[in-house]
A and B are shown apart, each in its own frame.
Chain A
Amino acid sequence: QKEVEQDPGPLSVPEGAIVSLNCTYSNSAFQYFMWYRQYSRKGPELLMYTYSSGNKEDGRFTAQVDKSSKYISLFIRDSQPSDSATYLCAIKAGGTSYGKLTFGQGTILTVHP
């Protein structure tokens, strides 16, 4: 069993749709949760980071963490063609200020006009 599971998709939605991206994890030591967006042939871009359970909103993006279920989500409202990219969840255990991120496999999202 992988430490972080993410549905690779691909996911195709019409413009304006609400997109839900999800990851599950198995290690209770994970404390820091991040979502990255990666366009083709570019580096990952940090979209959201969260620590505690609950919701965090930034514009059209909402990150949700449920530590009791070991489940994290990213919601994209009013999706745009420019949101078409690969979305990676990344999780880090607590402790040191540096350390290994454990990534999901990434979900490929296409938003068509």
Chain B
Amino acid sequence: DTEVTQTPKHLVMGMTNKKSLKCEQHMGHRAMYWYKQKAKKPPELMFVYSYEKLSINESVPSRFSPECPNSSLLNLHLHALQPEDSALYLCASSQRHGDIYEQYFGPGTRLTVT
């Protein structure tokens, strides 16, 4: 099973709202990621958690707040977003065993900020 699940599939929020995106994987991967993808562009890394600790923050604005409650779950808390934050938000998880490196993506949450 190489499944990463994300909820909700779609989210519409106003600029004053607070909402959260959720991600879950049960592959035993110890690294989890948040990406942002705009139309016709590749995914853009936001955050990386390794062993439930934040390892990489790609200078993401503080209105995005990640959280890793345990090794299977990853949340992204959203507050005071701007219309330009509208995008597909992708969660991913990865593992490396010697020469093998695999990173699997979830289906994404399509976020619209009004």
Question: Which A residues are within 8 Å of any B CB, using their own CB?
Answer: 32, 34, 36, 41-46, 49, 51-52, 88, 90, 92, 96-101, 103-106
4 closest cross-chain pairs (CB), A and B: A98-B31, A103-B42, A32-B101, A97-B96
Complex Cα spacing A43 to B36, Å: 11
B105 within 8 A of A: yes
Of B13-21, B43-51, B68-76, which binds chain A? Answer: B43-51
Q: Considering residues B48, B56, B103, which has the most beta carbons from chain A within 10 angstroms of its beta carbon?
A: B103
Q: How far is the CB of B6 from chain A (nearest CB, A)?
A: 8
Interface of B is mostly: strand
Interface of A is mostly: loop
Contacting pair A100 B45 (CB below 8 A):
yes
B6-63 residues at the A interface, CB under 8 angstroms: 6, 30-31, 33, 40-43, 45, 48, 50, 55-56, 58
Contacting pair A46 B2 (CB below 8 A):
yes
Contacting pair B42 A43 (CB below 8 A):
no
Question: Which B residues are within 8 Å of any A CB, using their own CB?
Answer: 2, 4, 6, 30-31, 33, 40-43, 45, 48, 50, 55-56, 58, 88, 90, 94-96, 99-108, 110
What are the residues of chain A within 8 A of B90 when measuring CB–CB? 43-44
Q: Considering residues A36, A49, A51, A98, which has the most beta carbons from chain B within 10 angstroms of its beta carbon?
A: A98
Q: How far is the CB of A81 from chain B (nearest CB, A)?
A: 21
Given contacts A92-B101, A100-B56, contact A42 B48 (CB under 8 A): no
What are the residues of chain A within 8 A of B30 when measuring CB–CB? 97-98
Given contacts A41-B88, A98-B50, contact A105 B105 (CB under 8 A): no
Q: Which of A41, A44, A49, A92 contacts B105 (CB 8 A)?
A: A44
Complex Cα spacing A99 to B47, Å: 10
